[in-house]
């Protein structure tokens, strides 16, 4: 198993690692510890007390033990009497806290002694009006808590906080601005009011902590979707361009191979000494002509140099080779581009040429024979002659039979003194 793993490419290994991390994050999301923001007690948190006395009411509030953050609240007789505490903080750079990025709980440790069934936990945040208003005090949001629950650490959900009705009505807030806003939280505290209590109450604030997820499940799924989408798309693109690159490289290789193959084909069909087609080259051309049914338009001649052995014997093989090359060139010069001049072997040549009438065969063959007899070959100015057997080809007869007839004609020419054309 580990051996297979080691053989994987680095990218595959990274993908497996990322896949494992993705699965772990999805399955273990609930096990990821919460992020927390302690607001009290901290070095910079300040708790202040307030009551309606400041606006002429009869409620009173006083510290019992400020070091323990314990205070007493006595609600007056007014209809809207209130008193309570407010914690403000300074984290070194801000007086406000942004709790909108994943915080969803407030953990409070507050103890209560008194007769009220409930108290309010109040939070104030900067009011950002969607209507451009700047005359409104900070937004007041609250959650009501049973005093019976204030014996232990209590968890309040931020989504249970509501914007207070008196803040909405007093400030004539438009409905679109009446939702809780956790972006710039300035203060929080415990509030007692006439509607909730009777008699003095003792409240001790031990700690206040906000907690939440580093990222929501939706954020996690979206991020994983984007990451894996990016991986698949970039991999797809990479494969696409890699395939294109390989196809191009293969095309170049194919062209190279085709060129090499063509080179070998030409080599295989060419006589090394004279550069003419050899037997193989002639056979290929013939099979094409026969396949196309064009044999009727051709004639052939077999040309054999007379007494060539004597050239070799008297002047050496090299001079013999030179003579063969010169005769090959001479035959070519006396043929058209469309004719095929080939060396059949030794000092024997075959010419395939386009020709409709037997007279043309005679004219061309005789011309070649006369040219050879006229010319002088090699540095020794040798005189040579050739005997030719020639015949018209026909599709019906085929090449092999025509060849036999031309060869027989050539043989006759040799028998009757050489240096002559014999038509078959």
Ligand X SMILES: Nc1nc2c(ncn2[C@@H]2O[C@H](COP(=O)(O)OP(=O)(O)OP(=O)(O)O)[C@@H](O)[C@H]2O)c(=O)[nH]1
Residues that bind ligand X (CB under 6 A): 273, 304-309, 312, 317, 320-321, 324, 346-347, 414, 418
Question: In this structure, how many other beta carbons lie within 10 angstroms of the beta carbon of residue 320?
Answer: 20
240 vs 307 by CB, closer to ligand X: 307
Both tokens of residue 94? Answer: 């801000």
In whole angstroms, how close is the CB of 328 to ligand X at the nearest point?
11
H-type alpha helices, 193-334:
217-268, 279-291, 308-315, 317-333
Q: 376: which strand partners?
A: 383
In whole angstroms, how close is the CB of 374 to ligand X at the nearest point?
19
Contact 389, 410 (CB under 8 A): yes
133 vs 414 by CB, closer to ligand X: 414
In whole angstroms, how close is the CB of 291 to ligand X at the nearest point?
31
Q: Is the dihedral of CA 383, 389, 392, 396 positive or negative?
A: negative
Spatial separation of the C-alpha atoms in residues 383 and 394, rounded to whole Å: 35
137 vs 346 by CB, closer to ligand X: 346
181 vs 306 by CB, closer to ligand X: 306
- What are the phi and psi torsion angles at 369 (to 5°)? -60, -45
In whole angstroms, how close is the CB of 419 to ligand X at the nearest point?
10
Q: Which residues have CB under 8 Å from 199's CB, separation 6+?
A: 74, 75, 114, 115
In whole angstroms, how close is the CB of 394 to ligand X at the nearest point?
28
Spatial separation of the C-alpha atoms in residues 97 and 93, rounded to whole Å: 10
In whole angstroms, how close is the CB of 267 to ligand X at the nearest point?
17
H-type alpha helices, 202-216:
none
112 vs 308 by CB, closer to ligand X: 308
Q: Which residue has the tokens 């014996």?
A: 151
Spatial separation of the C-alpha atoms in residues 279 and 129, rounded to whole Å: 100
In angstroms, what is the C-alpha Rg of the chain?
Answer: 55
201 vs 304 by CB, closer to ligand X: 304
Spell 88-97 as b/e; 16+ CB within 10 A means b: bbeeeeeebb
Question: Which residue minimizes CB distance to ligand X?
Answer: 320
H-type alpha helices, 71-207:
165-170
405 vs 414 by CB, closer to ligand X: 414
In whole angstroms, how close is the CB of 414 to ligand X at the nearest point?
6
The SS3 call for residue 51 is strand
273 vs 358 by CB, closer to ligand X: 273
Strands 421-423 and 386-392: parallel
38 vs 329 by CB, closer to ligand X: 329
In whole angstroms, how close is the CB of 322 to ligand X at the nearest point?
8
In whole angstroms, how close is the CB of 324 to ligand X at the nearest point?
6
């Amino acid at each position: 198993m580990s051996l297979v793993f080691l053989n994987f490419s680095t990218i595959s290994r990274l993908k497996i690692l990322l896949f494992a991390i993705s699965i772990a994050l999805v399955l273990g999301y609930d096990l990821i510890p919460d992020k927390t923001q302690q607001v009290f007690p901290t070095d910079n948190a300040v708790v202040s007390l307030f009551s309606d006395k400041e606006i002429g009411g009869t409620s009173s509030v006083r510290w019992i033990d400020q070091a323990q953050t314990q205070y007493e609240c006595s609600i007056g007789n007014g209809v809207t009497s209130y008193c309570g505490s407010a914690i403000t903080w300074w984290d070194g750079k801000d007086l406000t806290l942004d709790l909108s990025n994943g915080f969803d709980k407030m953990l409070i440790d507050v103890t209560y002694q008194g007769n009220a069934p409930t108290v309010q936990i109040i939070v104030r945040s900067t009011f950002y009006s969607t209507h451009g208003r700047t005359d409104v005090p900070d937004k007041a949001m609250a959650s009501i808590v049973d005093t019976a629950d204030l014996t232990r650490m209590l968890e309040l959900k931020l989504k249970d906080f509501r914007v207070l009705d008196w803040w909405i009505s007093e400030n004539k807030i438009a409905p679109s601005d009446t939702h809780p806003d956790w972006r710039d939280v300035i203060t929080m505290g415990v509030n007692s009011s006439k509607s909730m209590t009777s008699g003095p109450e003792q409240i001790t604030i031990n700690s206040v902590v906000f907690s939440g997820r580093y990222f929501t499940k939706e954020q996690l799924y979206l991020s994983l979707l984007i990451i894996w989408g990016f991986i698949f798309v970039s991999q797809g693109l990479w494969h696409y361009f890699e395939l294109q690159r390989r196809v191009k490289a293969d095309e170049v290789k194919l062209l190279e191979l085709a060129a090499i193959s063509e080179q070998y084909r030409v080599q295989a069909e060419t006589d090394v000494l004279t550069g003419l087609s050899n037997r193989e080259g002639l056979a290929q051309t013939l099979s094409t002509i026969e396949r196309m049914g064009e044999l009727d338009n051709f004639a052939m001649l077999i040309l054999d140099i007379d007494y060539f052995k004597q050239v070799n014997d008297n002047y050496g093989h090299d001079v013999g080779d030179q003579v063969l090359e010169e005769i090959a060139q001479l035959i070519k010069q006396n043929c058209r581009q469309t004719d095929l001049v080939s060396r059949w072997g030794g000092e024997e040549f075959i010419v395939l040429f386009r020709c409709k009438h037997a007279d043309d065969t005679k004219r061309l063959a005789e011309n070649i024979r006369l040219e050879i007899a006229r010319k002088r070959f090699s540095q020794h100015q040798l005189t040579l002659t050739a005997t030719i057997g020639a015949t018209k080809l026909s599709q019906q007869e085929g090449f092999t039979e025509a060849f036999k007839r031309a060869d027989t004609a050539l043989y006759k020419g040799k028998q009757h003194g050489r240096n002559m054309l014999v038509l078959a």
